[in-house]
Amino acid sequence: MFSQYLDKFSGGQIYLISSLGIFFVFFIVVTILMFRLKKAHVNYMSDLPLEEDNTSNTFKPLQS
């Protein structure tokens, strides 16, 4: 079935098929990584913007 499609490819269609393949591979990898995340890490990252301790994150310019 797929050999019929591969025989009829012109020059421009290979770019369409390869970009579709890259798209699916990227989102499959992202989905796998998302399911492998630990719940504790997700909770820690979600609480970061709400923390009020800004002493360690302040920008200190270099003294010259």
Q: What is the pLDDT of residues 10-50, one digit of tens each?
A: 777 888 888 999 999 999 999 999 999 999 988 888 888 87
Is there a domain that residue 8 lies in?
A: no
If you search the block for the tokens 């630990």, which residue do you land on?
38
Is there a domain that residue 64 lies in?
A: no
Model pTM score: 0.53
Residue range 40-56, pLDDT digits in tens = 988 888 888 877 765 55
- Tell me the DSSP string of the chain: -HHHHHHT--TTHHHHHHHHHHHHHHHHHHHHHHHHS-HHHHHHHHHGGG----STT---PPP-
As for how many domains the chain has, the answer is 1
Is there a domain that residue 42 lies in?
A: yes
Is there a domain that residue 55 lies in?
A: no
Is there a domain that residue 28 lies in?
A: yes
* Residue numbers of the domain that contains 25: 13-48
